[in-house]
Amino acid sequence: MQWYIMRRLGCSFVLVLLAACGPAGVSRSPFPAVLASATPQVPTLTQSPESLVLKTPFTPLFDGVRAMQVAATQMQWVPRDTGSPGWQHTGDYIIRQLRQSGWQITEQRFPYRGITCRNILAQRGSGPLLLLGAHYDSRRQADHDPDPNKQHEPVPAANDGASGVAVLLELARVVRPEAFGRTVQLAFLDAEDDGDLDGWEWTVGSNYLATHLAVRPVAVVILDMIGDTNLDVYYESNSTPALRESVWAAAARQGFTQFIPREKYGMLDDHSPFLAQGIPAVDVIDFDYPPWHTTGDTLDKISATSLAIVGQTMELWLNSGGVL
Ligand code: 1BN
Ligand code: ZN
């Protein structure tokens, strides 16, 4: 926490430099630079975490169309609740993609109610640890479905599951932590979403990770339900204020008005176990999503543009060392 606040104060001049740089990239979406950058360019940074300065205008590499393909790939496996064949396929797919992108992978297996759960951790870089997480399991029952006959069917989980994984895997493809003096860990969290079903708890995987940390992160960012075609991401009220301000500032820097710096909801989610350990954590979640925990949480409800807005925000935040 102390490290984080010191960096925020010490690097506030970075904001001034960044503010001088205009948005870059071309796409046919209504949002400039959102879907894919026409001229990929890795930002040049000084190597020292003490003096992280973007020397070139920030041109995002994150490609929303690719992220959408990652979401679509997961949707061939429904359901993906912990222990199911679709969950196994999804975990194995995540590992293959991370290997291809050159990340070091650790599988964290642990028992819960007779099932062996699996968190998948990918790491790169050196220096203070920034952890980005998303759950890859899906809810096994659509208990919020308006049709009582469908409430025992599984949630397809395009937004509430596949979207966060899609953004993390596309970030894995484009982000190079070696260039900005940070260790980045991408955490694909298990068993978040079967809470209150047959006595299951929420956030089982993140709870395990937060209580079995090899290295304590300086900041944790959770991405959940961030693919909604109608994206509006408000401050989540339990999240660490300085950290959420820095993420929303990265969005504002790119002109993404879908990040709204006002509190709307507060909830238990995968950031909660880290907060309980005293680790700064933020939940990036758009909870205004009518198909939440229904059979209607399907691929047509999410968009490449929304994935790109969140992905490019996290890309800039990471490239700025998590201090924007
Ligand atoms: C988020 C997405 N959550 C579940 N799916 C966390 C949550 C749990 C939010 C209970 C509200 C109530
Ligand atoms: Zn859910």
CA of 257 to the centre of ligand 2 (A): 25
Question: What local confidence, expressed as pLDDT, does residue 284 receive?
Answer: 99
Q: Which of 257, 305, 319, 317 is nearest to 28 (CA)?
A: 305
Residue nearest atom 6 in ligand 1 by C-alpha distance:
269
> According to the model, what pLDDT value does residue 148 have?
98
Ligand whose nearest atom lies closest to the CA of 81: 2
Ligand nearest to the CA of 269: 1
- Phi, psi dihedral angles at 221 (to 5 degrees): -120, 120
Give the contacts of 88 (CB within 8 A, at least 6 positions apart). none
Which ligand 1 atom sits nearest the alpha carbon of residue 160?
2
Residues with CB under 5 A from ligand 2 (ion): 160, 193
Sign of CA dihedral 80, 86, 91, 96: negative
Name the maximum alpha-carbon separation found in the chain: 58
Nearest CA to ligand 1 atom 9: 267
DSSP secondary structure letters along 173-199: HH--GGGTT-EEEEEEE-S-S-TTSTT
Is 16 part of any domain?
A: no
Tokens 């994984």 belong to which residue? Answer: 165
Beta-strand ranges (E) seen in the chain are: 104-112, 115-125, 129-135, 183-189, 219-224, 233-236, 259-265, 281-285
Question: How far apart are the C-alpha atoms of 70 and 35, rounded to whole Å?
Answer: 14
150, part of any domain: yes
- We report the CATH number of the domain holding residue 64 as 3.40.630.10
Residue 246 burial (CB < 10 Å; 0-12/13-18/19+)? buried
Distance 269 CA to ligand 1 centre (A): 6
Task: Provide the residue-wise pLDDT of the chain in tens; the chain has 324 residues.
Answer: 444 433 433 333 232 223 333 222 223 233 335 554 333 343 333 344 444 555 567 899 999 999 999 999 999 999 999 999 999 999 999 999 999 999 999 999 999 999 999 999 999 999 999 999 999 999 999 999 999 999 999 999 999 999 999 999 999 999 999 999 999 999 999 999 999 999 999 999 999 999 999 999 999 999 999 999 999 999 999 999 999 999 999 999 999 999 999 999 999 999 999 999 999 999 999 999 999 999 999 999 999 999 999 999 999 999 999 987
Q: Are 97 and 169 in contact (CB under 8 A)?
A: yes
Assigned token pair, 311: 């992905």
Question: In terms of Cα–Cα distance, which of 199, 192, 201 is closest to 271?
Answer: 192
By residue range, what is the domain housing residue 49?
41-319
**Residue 176 located in a structural domain:** yes
Residue 45, in any domain of the structure: yes
Do the domain assignments include residue 77? yes
Q: Is residue 120 part of a domain?
A: yes
∠ CA(28), CA(162), CA(276), 5° rounding?
120
Does residue 22 lie within any of the structural domains?
no
193 in ligand 1 pocket by Cβ < 6 Å?
yes
Ligand 1 pocket test, candidate residues 193, 196, 297, most atoms within 8 A of CB? 193
Output the pLDDT for position 58: 87
Residue 224 Cβ < 6 Å to ligand 1? yes
The answer to whether residue 167 sits within a structural domain is: yes
Q: How many Å lie between the centroid of ligand 2 and the Cα of residue 194?
A: 8
Q: Specify the pLDDT at position 54.
A: 56
Kindly state if the Cβ of 267 falls inside 6 Å of ligand 1.
yes
**What's the total number of domains in the chain?**
1
Residue with tokens 């740089």: 21
